[in-house]
Amino acid sequence: MSLKHSYTLLAPLYDLIVNGPTAGMRRNSLRRLTGATDQTILVSGIGTGLDIPDLPAGPAYIGVDLTTAMLRRAQRRLRQRNDIQLHCGDVMYLPYADEQFDVILMHLILAVVPEPERALREAARVVRPGGRILVLDKFLRHGERAPVRRVLNNVIRHIATRTDVVLEPLLAQCPQLQLIEEIRLAPGGWFHQIELRKTE
């Protein structure tokens, strides 16, 4: 099943499944946008727009997602906002020029796409030198065996998300990105809040 097809089917249930367990983590991650007034921010994989109510006013936002069913739900959250544009596009092949954005927000997307290294390379391409990539997602620790998560991945990656993504190999393919901060979050440190900066 393709990612687009599976998330078209999941769209009506997505908020119910994802919002509760991740709401606090997402809000905390979005606090890193404080002071980003007058910047242009790409929300890569905006999905149903769960983050929209907590995006601080001031910046100009573009949200991109592969699935029109998800974007239709995100559109409903824009009634009180005129600072967010929604685009249909693939985060692994972003439809934007090089060095166009000040910040890229990647919440719960690197562990979803089939090729997370490509999605991160694309984010690195479209962010300006000195710009930030803010990530919130689940990662295995480097060298962690995690046999249950790896076996689970064989099934669940075809439906909704991957459970075997390791950050370090992704960063190795993006030498222009510097790891500024990595915080492991509960439960069990599986979710990581990460800040990257483009150095060149």
Tell me how far apart the alpha carbons of residues 131 and 198 are, in angstroms, rounded to a whole number: 6
Question: Global pTM?
Answer: 0.88
Residue 154 confidence (pLDDT) = 46
- Measured in residues, the chain has a length of 200
- Mean of pLDDT values over 37-58: 95
> Do 173 and 125 contact (CB within 8 A), yes or no?
no
Per-residue model confidence as pLDDT tens digits over 106-162? 999 998 898 999 999 999 999 999 999 999 998 877 655 655 555 454 444 444 566
Taking Cα atoms as reference points, which of 57, 170, 69 lies closest to residue 110? 170
For 177, the domain range is 3-198
**What's the total number of domains in the chain?**
1
CATH code, domain with 192: 3.40.50.150
